[in-house]
Amino acid sequence: MTTAGATKAVHAKAPGKINVFLKVGALLDDGYHDVATAYQAVSLFEDVRATPADDFSVSFTGPIDTSSLAVDGSNLAIKAATLLAHRAGYRRGVHLEIEKHVPIAGGMGGGSADAAATLLACDTLWGTDLGRDELMELAASLGSDVPFAFAGGTAIGTGRGDKLSPALAAGQFQWVLALADFGMSTPEVYRELDRHRDRHAQDIFPAAIAPQVDTAVLQALRAGDAHMLAEVLHNDLQAPALHLETQLASVIQLGEENGALAGLVSGSGPTIAFLAPDLDGALELQIALSAARLTVVRATGPVHGARIVSD
Ligand code: C5P
């Protein structure tokens, strides 16, 4: 990684995710909702290269238009680096170069993956060596999905989504992702769900009952069976996301008419995740959706979490 006289750099990567199941419970006093989710990490990775610097900065490369992203202290990767420096008593800074592959504001945890990869890259670069437990604790304070981007694989998330327990998983699932040319705000989608629940008082989730992941979801993941999983894909944020962006319903329909076992809004949207029966089915679906002028990428899951890469 280091040669005499060369600038030292550490490269880490972390994956995006699909919530194959997301049940939203009560709105808590802290403004977050109690959730129960099954996460699967998928093969769209954020690459973060960290080099020593006197202050904190970030720049972006890669195939995605990143012009909308903040590069100041409000950027989650910068927040991750400053948080780690503060915790470890490190007095200098870092430059982060992020090669983005996960859609921005797409409901796939791209910002969370940036933060997770940054924590690992800076911990290695600075030799702060905090260890996994402390890095996971910092991850949770950065955002609900950051611990999972760090852990990867397949996991159940409760609390805000940050309390993880591993789930057994077999095989590989084939996904086709239809990307939107706009982003959606996670708080706004949660607020739309709350408005709906207020309008229909019978839908209010009882605060005393914690949401749970259906056992059928765990069975399908354990079996590595796409047909079983397709039957039980579920996202409570789908209805509010479709209410805010009505055109997404026709994208789901198009995918399901062209061989997808099922389509689902990913996280708070607007990315639509289609589960394909196998690789051939995924390729056919990719062609059909591309022909309809949608922007489409394929991904497989589960994949590993945040890792150092030796270039
Ligand atoms: O944790 P994160 O910063 O990703 O959350 C963004 C926003 O999404 C929160 O401020 C909150 O409005 C909403 N959220 C929620 N319940 C969760 C996770 C997120 O209401 N479990």
Q: What is the mean pLDDT of residues 265-282?
A: 97
Q: Whose CA is nearest to atom 7 of ligand 1?
A: 187
Q: Whose CA is nearest to atom 15 of ligand 1?
A: 32
Sign of the CA dihedral running 261, 166, 145, 192:
positive
* 147 C-alpha to ligand 1 centroid (Å): 14
User: CATH number for the domain including 178?
Assistant: 3.30.70.890
* 288 C-alpha to ligand 1 centroid (Å): 34
Instruction: Let me know: does 1 contact 10? Beta carbons within 8 Å.
Output: yes
Residue to mutate (ligand 1; options 75, 145, 160; most atoms within 8 A of CB): 160
Instruction: Let me know: does 26 contact 34? Beta carbons within 8 Å.
Output: yes
pLDDT tens, position by position, 163-203: 999 999 999 999 999 999 999 999 999 999 999 988 887 55
Taking alpha carbons only, the member of 4, 7, 3, 14 closest to residue 309 is 14
- In ligand 1, the atom with minimum distance to the C-alpha of 159 is 21
**With bands split at pLDDT 50, 70 and 90, how would you rate the model's confidence at 23?**
very high
Number of domains composing the chain: 2
**155 domain-assigned:** yes
Residue type, 34: D
Residue to mutate (ligand 1; options 190, 195, 196, 197; most atoms within 8 A of CB): 190
Higher-confidence position of 301 and 202: 301
* 267 C-alpha to ligand 1 centroid (Å): 11
Which residue positions form the known binding site?
Answer: 103-113
pLDDT for 207: 64
**With bands split at pLDDT 50, 70 and 90, how would you rate the model's confidence at 279?**
very high
Which residue positions form the known binding site for ATP?
Answer: 103-113
In this structure, the answer to whether residues 190 and 232 fall within a common structural domain is yes
Distance (Å, rounded) from C-alpha 16 to C-alpha 43? 7
Q: Whose CA is nearest to atom 14 of ligand 1?
A: 32
- In ligand 1, the atom with minimum distance to the C-alpha of 161 is 21
Q: Whose CA is nearest to atom 19 of ligand 1?
A: 32
Residue with tokens 């030796």: 310
Q: Whose CA is nearest to atom 10 of ligand 1?
A: 187
Instruction: Let me know: does 150 contact 120? Beta carbons within 8 Å.
Output: yes
pLDDT for 2: 40
**With bands split at pLDDT 50, 70 and 90, how would you rate the model's confidence at 311?**
confident
In this structure, the answer to whether residues 163 and 178 fall within a common structural domain is no
Which of 107, 137, 168 marks a domain boundary?
168
One-character DSSP codes across the chain: ---TTSPP-EEEEEEEEEEEEEEEEEEPTTS-EEEEEEEEEEEEEEEEEEEEESSEEEEEESSS--TTS--STTSHHHHHHHHHHHHHT--SEEEEEEE--SPTTSSS-HHHHHHHHHHHHHHHHTT----HHHHHHHHHHH-TTHHHHHHBSEEEEETTTTEEEE----S-EEEEEEEPSS---HHHHHHHHHHHHHHSGGGPPPTTS-----HHHHHHHHHT-HHHHHHH-EETTHHHHHHHSTTHHHHHHHHHHTT-SEEEE-TTSS-EEEEESSHHHHHHHHHHHHHTT-EEEEEEE--B-SEEE--
In this structure, the answer to whether residues 148 and 178 fall within a common structural domain is no
In this structure, the answer to whether residues 100 and 179 fall within a common structural domain is no
Q: Which domain holds residue 290?
A: 173-301
pLDDT tens, position by position, 95-144: 999 999 999 989 999 999 999 999 999 999 999 999 999 999 999 999 99
End-to-end CA distance of the chain: 7
* 273 C-alpha to ligand 1 centroid (Å): 21
In this structure, the answer to whether residues 15 and 156 fall within a common structural domain is yes
Q: Which residues are catalytic?
A: 17, 145
- In ligand 1, the atom with minimum distance to the C-alpha of 27 is 20
In this structure, the answer to whether residues 52 and 152 fall within a common structural domain is yes
Taking alpha carbons only, the member of 244, 152, 127 closest to residue 189 is 244
**With bands split at pLDDT 50, 70 and 90, how would you rate the model's confidence at 209?**
confident
Q: Which residues line ligand 1 (CB under 6 A)?
A: 31-33, 35, 143-145, 160-161, 186-187, 190
Which of 115, 150, 168 marks a domain boundary?
168
Residue to mutate (ligand 1; options 24, 33, 114, 191; most atoms within 8 A of CB): 33
Decide: residue 49, CB within 10 A, 0-12 exposed, 13-18 middle, 19+ buried.
buried
In this structure, the answer to whether residues 21 and 132 fall within a common structural domain is yes
